[in-house]
Amino acid sequence: MEFYQKLKKLRAQKGWSQEEFAEKLQVSRQAISKWENGQGFPETEKLVKMSRLFQVSLDYLLKDEDQSIGEHGTTEEGYYASQEVVEAYLLSKKQGAKKIAAGVAILIASILLPMYFQEAFSYVLFMMVVAVGVAILVWQGFSVKAYKELETQPLVFDDSFIKDFRQKNLVNRKRYGILIVTGIVIIILSFGIPFLTNDTGQADRDPLLVLMPLAWASAVYLFIIAGSALEGERLVTNNEEYVKEYEKDEESSKHGWIHAVIWPLAAVVFLAIGFIWNAWHPGWLVFLVAAVFTIAYTAWKSSKD
């Protein structure tokens, strides 16, 4: 299939008239008509813009190959994912991971308020900060997930792009691994903080103890950012394996957002009970309540689906 045939077919699949397409490219309708009749060829700038509008690669537009692309970008082998689409997906996933990481980090860090400040206002502020963290997680959980099709079906990539991407992934994996190791080291070191506190009757209010929840929050933030990035890149580098796992886990993770909210919240409540009232033993019942709630909610939602 030659360029002019692909151009006409792609425009028709988008449902655009020649006038509409010309307006998007900022050219005349006559130019579009000439290109679609094989009587001319657009300049490089217009080709790049076409690639973005149609979400296909320049290789696909320029090479005289006949790869059938369906209405939603699918081919006989799977969904065609251009370099632009993959990069936009990874950016969207990175932004979502930052919101989730921020929400969880806020929940964990919030326990420093009742830990250190004895005033009643600190408990009010604690609840307000927890509410902010939960709100961020719930908002992200209910937000529309972009590029869902990339995670639900086999993908087809340009050979040159996937080769370069896998080479970059090897470098990125080392960087993400460093983030995870850094988080682990931060958590291990944080448990040494109590040994540095002043040996006084007010040791439980020592300013150094504030560093513990801050350290945990920082570590968890790094874990979420690195884990999300690794998962996103694995979708591209090991797509067939990823899709099989997705199909297997899709039903069980259908209401997974509730776990992302309940368990961090339960951890915050448990730590707050322990540090404020020194009631670590009955405090673990919070996790039992959280488990019962999540199971009941999941069962209820599944019965309605």
Q: Let me know if residue 256 belongs to a domain.
A: no
Q: Please, are residues 208 and 196 in contact by the beta-carbon 8 Å criterion?
A: yes
Q: Let me know if residue 76 belongs to a domain.
A: no
213 and 155, same structural domain?
A: yes
48 and 90, same structural domain?
A: no
pLDDT digit string (tens) for the chain, length 305 residues = 788 888 888 888 888 899 999 998 889 999 999 988 888 888 888 888 888 788 777 777 777 655 554 444 444 456 777 787 888 889 989 999 999 999 999 988 888 887 767 666 777 888 888 889 889 988 887 776 767 777 777 888 878 888 999 999 999 999 999 999 999 999 999 888 878 765 544 445 567 777 888 999 999 999 999 999 998 998 888 877 766 665 555 555 555 666 667 877 787 787 777 766 777 667 778 878 888 887 787 777 666 65
Q: Let me know if residue 277 belongs to a domain.
A: no
Two tokens, residue 46: 């217009």
144 and 92, same structural domain?
A: yes
Q: Let me know if residue 294 belongs to a domain.
A: no
129 and 21, same structural domain?
A: no
36 and 169, same structural domain?
A: no
To which H or E segment does residue 155 belong? strand 155-156
The pTM assigned to this predicted structure is 0.62
Q: Please, are residues 140 and 174 in contact by the beta-carbon 8 Å criterion?
A: no
135 and 12, same structural domain?
A: no
145 and 46, same structural domain?
A: no
Strand pairing partners for 155? Answer: 79
What domain range is 91 assigned to?
82-250
Q: Let me know if residue 33 belongs to a domain.
A: yes
Q: Let me know if residue 285 belongs to a domain.
A: no
Q: How many domains does the chain have?
A: 2
Q: CA 75, CA 150: separation in Å to the nearest integer?
A: 13
Q: Let me know if residue 258 belongs to a domain.
A: no
112 and 40, same structural domain?
A: no
To which H or E segment does residue 148 belong? helix 148-152
124 and 193, same structural domain?
A: yes
Q: Let me know if residue 36 belongs to a domain.
A: yes
58 and 205, same structural domain?
A: no
Two tokens, residue 206: 């020592």
Q: What CATH number does residue 51 fall under?
A: 1.10.260.40
Listed residues 14, 34, 62: the one ending a domain: 62
124 and 93, same structural domain?
A: yes
192 and 129, same structural domain?
A: yes
DSSP class per residue in 122-141: HHHHHHHHHHHHHHHHHHHH
